[in-house]
A and B are shown apart, each in its own frame.
Chain A
Amino acid sequence: MNNTPVLLQAVRAGRQTGSGPLAGLLLIGFLALAGCSREADKPAAVAGPVERVVKIGLAAPLTGSEAHVGEDIRNGGQLAVDDINAAGVLVAGERLRIELVVEDDEANPTKAATVAQSLVDRKVAGVVGHFNSGASIPASRIYAEAGVPQISPGSTNPKYTEQGFKTAFRVVANDNQQGPTLARFALDKLQARTIAVIDDSTAYGQGLADTFSAAVIAGGGKVLVREHTTDKDTDFKAILTSIKGRKPDVIMFGGIDPQAGPMVKQMAQLGIRARFLGGDGIQTPNFVKLAGDADAEGVYASMPGLPKAQMPGGQAFFDRFQARFGKPVELFAPMGYDAVQVLVDAMKRAGSVDPARFLDEVGKTRYNGVIGPIAFDEKGDLRDAPLTIYVVRAGQWEPVETIGGAAAAAPEATPAPTR
């Protein structure tokens, strides 16, 4: 419908005069008959429900080195909005027309807070975002104070949901789930008994290495040594040589690809045969490029979420995405899509588009999304979040096995088990 503003005015006029929505409805019915032939195709429109514009905010890095990730999320969100608007979702007798308000947070914590305030000021009903943990955490306070539900498609830092905000949710696994999963994989699947751990002295790297080490020890493995580097260094010969002397089965690195690439290369130069594994920070095409195909071969890494090919809504979603945007899904578009759907699903169940009314329903979500069944625990974390272990084969990351991600399928689960 092109004449929305007129319709809205009609509705508002009806309310202001105190004659209730009835006058508005009559007016709309009149207008719909008069000018809106496209709507007439749909039975719902013939009945003449009021159209209700609802703004949903979407914040992600749309410029800078992570722009491709942000764009992926935005496109995923846009696709969901298109679907919802086309399907004619009814909430309390009103037909939803979602408007996506997109903002660029530049992966920058300060900008993220500014963007969050701007979205709140524009009265969005909910927010999909942000991508970076460093952006989601400062923004979450602003959404919490405004009572606007926030669903992050990609932030994995545990702190995001540990602040006690009722409005913070995420549809990916957090780092507390990643470390133990990697540890179990190393102990059970790689049959590792002795492990050397390196971290890059960042919050992410140390956190991952800590949870990994704790789980290795709990699982009966031995952490031979814990070495440290920085997120600027490229020379690891000294610590690798020291590790070589201890002959570990596996070397685990908590950090990101600019360090992991050269590290794996230097392991090969030093003749270290131990397996190498890391978290989502190294599960990137860039890692393979930096390490070179030969040295990257056989490196393992975990990544929150299911592999693209195994997502329940998988292939159909990817085909539609490709057709709509002319490029394939990177990784986080399904999360962006599902986050929008979860918000609208909660509105439907609450029968309201007012965040104060439907916020509780977001927490009670039981939704089968593209990424699989979605349900939140009491903190707002994705329950039984799936994690996938990948391995490099011939220069490509290939999924090896997926852990978790099925249990939420049981619709009437008993009260949230705490992890």
Chain B
Amino acid sequence: MDIFIQQLVNGVVLGSIYALVALGYTMVYGILGLINFAHGDLVMVGALSALALLKVCLAVGLGLPASLALATLGAVLLCGGLGVLIERVAYRPLRSAPKLAPLITAIGVSILIEYGAAMIWSKQYLALPPVIQSTTWQLAGAAITDLQVAIVVMASVLMAGLLWLIRATPLGVAMRATEQNAEVAGLMGIDTHRVIAITFLIGSGLAALAGIMVLLYYGVAHYFMGFMLGLKAFTAAVLGGIGSVPGAMLGGLLLGLIESLGAGYVGELTGGVFGSNYRDVFAFIVLILVLVLRPAGLLGTASGERA
């Protein structure tokens, strides 16, 4: 039983990170109908730039909380700026082009960011300096660290904040209007270019925060780390219903749990025929099932709430 609880804990933490990244995919898809494949790489830029800033701050003698805050702020600003820049340079000129064109540029941008990062930070796995000392609590036989709690709490707060922003602020109204029909929204006096830019800013900022969580949680960062993470988060977004903000959250959490429990129990359940190397297969089988039985995803409906 304690092992089961431990796997649940693992899954919830992993799922929170997936959910945060999935939000970026789903927001952009909701408004532009574009799958921003460079989004996973922004997570990587967030992690690597935060690591670099953290090292600099610690080297000049700042305390840990101040260094961490500065590194976080710097990484979020950098990624936010990068997200807006990508939209301005790579997607906006193609707004009226066939759907396939921005998809291809998105892949191009993704590769550009990856190898740009490899040039700046090398292809090595970079280690987080041992500055974070996490405390472990025992709960019903499962080990939970304060870092895990912090990640889940922070992800929840960010997601709640985003929901509030979309539902209750004028900006949120503008975002939803743009999502429903950009042309008409423009006629109603909404600066849709600005709304789209802000969407990228928010999504990229969240990606940076997710990157920092990954960095703190696993203690390593690498120029290619965004690829698989991005793919999983995209899967989570589709699972929950792409375009739906609550769907991305649910999808992320579900995917994290499926992966944890799948990898933990697939060996026992199949009598050793399938091992934990089928972890990713397990997650994607669930995705296929959802798509076959409910093509719009769990929470995605034709008229559902989208951001």
Q: Which residues of A contact B (CB under 8 A)?
A: 65, 201, 225-230, 232-235, 237-239, 241-242, 244-245, 257-258, 261-262, 265-266, 269-271, 286, 289-290, 292-294
Contacts and interface: CB of A to CB of B under 8 A. Distances in A.
Interface string B242-272: 0000000000000000011111110100000
A385 B63 CA distance: 50
B143 A232 contact: no
B275 interface: yes
Given A232-B228, A292-B219, A238 B264 contact: yes
Interface stretch (B122-130, B149-157, B291-299): B122-130
Contact of A237 (B123, B125, B260): B260
A269 B125 contact: no
Interface string B118-146: 00001111010010001010100001010
B6 A244 contact: yes
Contact of A293 (B130, B134, B224, B228): B130
B267 A242 contact: yes
Given A242-B263, A286-B125, A289-B127, A269 B134 contact: yes
Q: Majority SS of interface residues in chain B? A: helix
A286 B228 CA distance: 23
Q: Which of B123, B262, B265, B279 has the most CB of A within 10 A?
A: B279
Given A65-B122, A234-B218, 17 more contacts: A227-B275, A227-B276, A234-B220, A235-B14, A237-B14, A238-B11, A238-B259, A238-B261, A241-B260, A244-B3, A258-B222, A261-B127, A266-B218, A286-B125, A286-B127, A292-B130, A293-B130
A228 B123 contact: no
Q: Please provide the 8 A-B residue pairs with the shortest distance between their CB atoms, ordered closest to farther.
A: A228-B277, A238-B263, A245-B3, A258-B125, A237-B10, A292-B130, A242-B264, A234-B218
B6 A241 contact: yes
Contact of B123 (A65, A225, A227, A261): A65
A241 B7 contact: yes
A280 B6 CA distance: 32
B225 interface: yes
B109 to A, nearest CB: 21
Nearest to A290: B127
Contacts of B7: 238, 241-242
Interface in B154-190: none
Given A241-B264, A242-B264, A270-B143, A229 B218 contact: no
Contacts of A265: 218-219
Contacts of A229: 276-277
A241 B10 contact: yes
B276 A239 contact: yes
12 contacts: A65-B123, A232-B228, A233-B228, A234-B222, A234-B225, A239-B263, A244-B6, A257-B125, A262-B220, A269-B134, A269-B143, A290-B219
Interface size bracket, B side: 35 or more
A121 to B, nearest CB: 32
A244 B145 CA distance: 17
A225 B218 CA distance: 24
Contacts of A237: 10, 13-14, 260
A65 B126 CA distance: 13
A223 to B, nearest CB: 12
A209 to B, nearest CB: 12
Contacts of A271: 136, 138, 143
Contact of B277 (A201, A258, A270): A201
B185 to A, nearest CB: 40
A197 to B, nearest CB: 11
A263 B123 CA distance: 20
A228 B281 CA distance: 13
Nearest to B260: A238
Interface in B9-43: 10-11, 13-14
B145 A269 contact: yes
Contacts of B10: 237-238, 241
Nearest to B262: A238
Contacts of B13: 237
A261 B220 contact: yes
Q: Which of B3, B6, B275 has the most CB of A within 10 A?
A: B6
Contacts of A227: 267, 275-276
Nearest to A230: B277
Contacts of A262: 218-220
A244 B143 CA distance: 11
Nearest to A268: B136
Interface in B87-141: 122-125, 127, 130, 134, 136, 138
A258 B145 contact: no
B233 to A, nearest CB: 14
Contacts of A286: 124-125, 127
B267 A225 contact: yes
Contacts of A289: 127
A252 B263 CA distance: 18
Contacts of B134: 269
Nearest to B131: A292
Q: Which of A226, A232, A235 has the most CB of B within 10 A?
A: A235
Contacts of A233: 228
A274 to B, nearest CB: 14
A234 B13 CA distance: 14
Contacts of B267: 225, 227, 242
B166 to A, nearest CB: 30
B136 A242 contact: no
Contacts of A266: 218
A269 B138 CA distance: 11
Contacts of B219: 261-262, 265, 290, 292
Given A227-B275, A290-B127, A239 B264 contact: yes
B220 A258 contact: yes
A232 B230 CA distance: 14
Contacts of A241: 3, 6-7, 10, 260, 264
B218 A235 contact: yes
A266 B265 CA distance: 19
Q: Which of A237, A269, A270 has the most CB of B within 10 A?
A: A237
Contacts of B138: 271
A226 to B, nearest CB: 7
Q: Which of B2, B127, B222, B265 has the most CB of A within 10 A?
A: B127
A229 B143 CA distance: 22
